[in-house]
Structure 1
Amino acid sequence: MRKFFRPAAVILTAVATILTTVLRVMLTPAMQDAETGNFHVSYIIIGFILASIAVLSILVLSGEGRLSHTNSMIRHDRLPMGVASVVAGSVLIISSLFDGWRWKVFGHTPPPNQAIISKLDSFTLTLTLIFGVLGGMFLVWLGFKLLGGSLNFSTGFSVAALAPVVWIWVRVVRYEVSYASAIAVEQSFYDFVMLLFTMVFLFSFARYISKTGKQSPRQLLICAFCTTILTVSGSLTSIILYMLGETEAYISSRLAGLPDLCLGIFAFCTAVCLVFARKILEPDQQEISVADTVSDEQESLGGDTVDDILNDIYGTDSNENI
């Protein structure tokens, strides 16, 4: 029974992401008026997200089965993770370069601010763009390695795996030094928690992929599910509100952009591979598997062998006749 818990968590994550998106699209516009806005309706969304996280954590921790490293997975079973890594890395690189161009040419900065408000804001934005490119390059490289073969571990690989972590960490710092950090928690809960879970997920993933430490991948699986719910719902909410013409609601939700959406999909693909990917068999196990397959095929052919027929006719074995 417990072996179905983690597959159920994958399905629950997809459903929770859809429901969270619907709730945010429906309730966010009602919270925008500074005087009449009912900010307390956000507690409905917050409660649903927290309940989903709690259930997912129970399912992951209670589930049976060992979570394998990517090097132990069958190559085509890790295809979703590899493709999602390449896409997320490419989008992160392009987005960082585009944001840098807009900043230098037009003076427009990515959310949460529309312009530079201090030297610290400028410094953190610079680091965000630099490590966005570096982190994207690592994810693209990692994706091709997952698609093409196994990973070779080294100190350089472990350090490179931290590039996306530094990117999201500097982004959290910039969020905290901006005006957005002064907003009440019921108005900024989604953005802040989204950044935090993304940071924890990327850090856990860096440790997992580089085999640093002996921590169980279960924490990575939980963070992947939570990151999926928050980043995908946030990005889709922003897109839908923009299409509906809810300008103020869109502005309040635009911190979650296209890179966050791609990272959320990457987190979900990582979780899917951890749960469903088959493990490469050891040489001894492969021999046993081949022997069982041959035996099953012989049994499936049916009928008597030549030895059986001769034995029935002459009452002896064919080898004795020879």
Structure 2
Amino acid sequence: MSSLNIAMLVALSLSSVVELTVESGGETSTGEVENEVAAVTRGLEDALKQAMVDSKRAIPVLLAALEACIAVSEPLDENALETRLLAQLSLARAYQNLGDDDEAEAAADEAVRMALGGTIPADKLGERLERLIGERRAVLEAKGSGTLRVQCEVRCEVYVDERRVFGAVPLLVEGSYRVRVVAKDGHRPPLEQEVDLEAAGDVVAIDFERVGPPPDVSLEESAPRRAAPRWSELTMISTGVGLSLIGGVVLGFDGVCPEPCESRLVFDNIESGWALFGIGGGLWLSGVIMLVVDEVRTKRRGGKERARKRDAGSDLAWLGGVRF
């Protein structure tokens, strides 16, 4: 056994001891879902240990551990994704050790696809495998890449080969990919589909449509209505201003005696003037308050409606870029 194999075997063994020590203190705090991911990760690590000892016996163990990753109901964490990539690389090296070049190339191609354009740590498993990965990556990139478009009618998360995708992927070479689309609001079940990019420039589109009515369909009905139509509020304001002006004019004539002045003709307008002024002021103030309140309600309702449309609108995820 080479020193490289011995070093990897010791490292994996130590990581298992640490895991067992942590688990003996009680259940994990994140619950059953993370336990499922942790179990898959341990299966991958066990397969890696087997690959360090016996390539022939390790192949079915590696294949089973890799297949188990697909069956996990929740996304794999970064540790699981890195361990899975190492297991895929170990599978390619196991085929190399057995002299099966075709299967080694196929496993290496899958590792390139699995990385989604990221770093492939082939150097951890020896120069021969590192050369193979470099060659296969160059071949696949030379053939070009395709584009996967996922259009969502609800806010969604997109996973390609169990890896969460944010925005654009720099490289999506030809081959088969498992795509999973999950609605963030849970209003529809996840969509799982396998897609094939067979040639450079291929475009595969997936539509993730809404199921059922929009969640805020009753927003307009439940929104508070106006206290009065806008035209009536404006009429109240203008009428109030007019009455106040008339009241002011009437008050201005209070105590005035027309020429030639006679005591019986002296105007006594103080009561009627103040009455008109008060009624006009009340109408003006009421109209202003109603108009301001209704305009604020309308603005808030419009903001909520725009937010609802934005949340329920199309989220477009562009995965990959056309390269030649």
Q: Which has the higher helix share?
A: 1
From the CA coordinates, give the structure whose radius of gyration is larger. Answer: 2
Task: Settle same-fold status: TM greater than 0.5.
Answer: no
**Larger RCO (CA under 8 A, 6+ residues apart):** 1
TM-score normalized with structure 1 length: 0.24
